[in-house]
Structure 1
């Protein structure tokens, strides 16, 4: 069987081409399918009882990991049926763990302010690393970028007149992200002292190669800054600042659909996780705006 005839490879190609799955997502699908194949043998011909036996192989997994593996297999068998490689779909025999999506870790407005204050004070030195860190921080919290989106920003993405960044997100989807006045100022300061490999096409180039600053290094820089800002470094990461961006916008009255667009979420159900943080404001809104609130009992 050639690679092009392999159902697993064909499934991964379909996910990449038709659904725009990112490289990390495709790698996770491959691991899940190859792990199930190692346990069961021929996945294409596996029947319901064989799939049920996966429960024993996966007994030590967390509910979230088990749910992800089952989701991968359900999509794979749906693909086989669609392609005529199977007449039946055995995936209902897979375990169905009940999982609750964990609430995001959050930083308060006061903690973010402390974080920014230290970064601003350090950037006053004019030293390139400190100026770069302030620009990174302003874009993480001010625009809600994912870590990968931020570090891989091309230099051409920096706006000249329009206050927007053109960002390529998950699955190659492009969106426009607003850049606050503060962030534009921080970017201007960074461009004036920008260092890295000469001729690099990236906004935040790496000194060591023609590539860009890595996600790991960004993570390290933020945790080091957290220590200097007297914050628990375990509570700080690029994604935590993205959560803070979303949460604080919602608290300020942002529409959920607008927030979905800003974050680049394909499904609004992903965005709705942020509504838990603002229950007090929502109750106040209902009491103030609902028609029955204007009637006296």
Structure 2
């Protein structure tokens, strides 16, 4: 029987899935079923399960279709990633789950024109007199998301004074407790400064909300409202999509993959390589223009 602790965490996870990716009702129902069944099977429940427990669980999927195994494993991996991000677990046992069909889908991204439309919608709000303080907050959020490639959980939990007016970076502690240097553009620092001037003196967070900081769910909602105003389908815009756009557009501009790995906080550069889906014609043009053999005379036929 599913424990009360697991049930509450599953419902919070599904709420996050609905806000983050606009998951359909059928998808949420399938994930709920998969997670509840897994929780019932595991003696210690999902929240306390070890890698060995999950390996034993996946051994019972041998007779299932590959698509079913893939869905169950994906549901559990995303659930454990959620637990780690929310601080309910220090480790992620999801690596022990099977990965049928090794092809990895590319995350959704935005074209340069789409990003321009988002910022145009923000500029339209900022042109109002007087400026709504919540629009100043939105401007700071989006500048940091797209300009620095922050994860949603990292963004909402930034301390009040972490972004310094005279320092073009901040030190961020991300997944696994790893620290990294995150670049902060002049635009982002200016947007943060305007918003921070309005914060109550006792606020510990740059983006306060409720009893602590702004929630990730509220961040997703704000971005979807902005997307609708900009004429972009809301399901195409999320914090992860803006993080992906940050990485993709930097690579298209000639950024080094190793530098991008450090900025994104990936432990393995193989994770960063998913962002290299740049246009093949641009790569061909790059080789034709930059390769040393280009300047050598051609041998006669």
Give how far 1:117 is off.
1.1
TM-score normalized with structure 1 length: 0.71
Give how far 1:277 is off.
2.1
Distance 1:237 1:139 in 2: 13
Distance 2:272 2:151 in 1: 14
Distance 2:51 2:191 in 1: 54
Distance 2:254 2:123 in 1: 27
Matches within 5 A, 1:134-153: 134-153=139-158
1:257 aligns with 2:262: no
Distance 1:67 1:105 in 2: 17
- Counterpart of 1:103 (choices 102, 106, 111) is 106
In structure 2, do the counterparts of structure 1 residues 69 and 182 end up closer, same or farther at CA, with 3 Å as the change threshold? closer
Distance 2:51 2:185 in 1: 51
Give how far 1:101 is off.
1.1
TM-score normalized with structure 2 length: 0.70
In structure 2, do the counterparts of structure 1 residues 103 and 155 end up closer, same or farther at CA, with 3 Å as the change threshold? same
Distance 1:217 1:95 in 2: 33
CA contact (8 A) 1:52 1:95 kept: no
Q: What residue number does 1:199 align with? A: 202
Of structures 1 and 2, the larger Rg is shown by 1
Matches within 5 A, 1:72-83: none
Q: What residue number does 1:112 align with? A: 115
Long gaps (5+) in structure 1:
1-29, 71-91
Distance 1:35 1:280 in 2: 51
- Counterpart of 2:73 (choices 56, 66, 76) is 66
SS in 2 for 1:166: strand
SS in 2 for 1:167: strand
CA displacement, residues 32-83 of structure 1 (integer Å, 9 cap, x when unaligned): 9856646xxxx9999x99975432368663526437869xxxxxxxxxxxxx
- When the two chains are superposed, the root-mean-square deviation of aligned CA atoms in Å is 3.4
SS in 2 for 1:276: coil
Give how far 1:256 is off.
0.3
Distance 2:57 2:153 in 1: 39
Long gaps (5+) in structure 2:
1-34, 44-49, 78-95
CA displacement, residues 145-177 of structure 1 (integer Å, 9 cap, x when unaligned): 000000000113111421112212111212121
CA displacement, residues 70-98 of structure 1 (integer Å, 9 cap, x when unaligned): 9xxxxxxxxxxxxxxxxxxxxx9x96622
- Counterpart of 2:62 (choices 52, 55, 62) is 55
For these two proteins, the number of residue pairs brought into alignment is 240
Distance 1:117 1:293 in 2: 41
Distance 1:65 1:261 in 2: 31
Q: What residue number does 1:175 align with? A: 180
Give how far 1:183 is off.
0.5
SS in 1 for 2:205: coil
Q: What residue number does 2:225 align with? A: 224
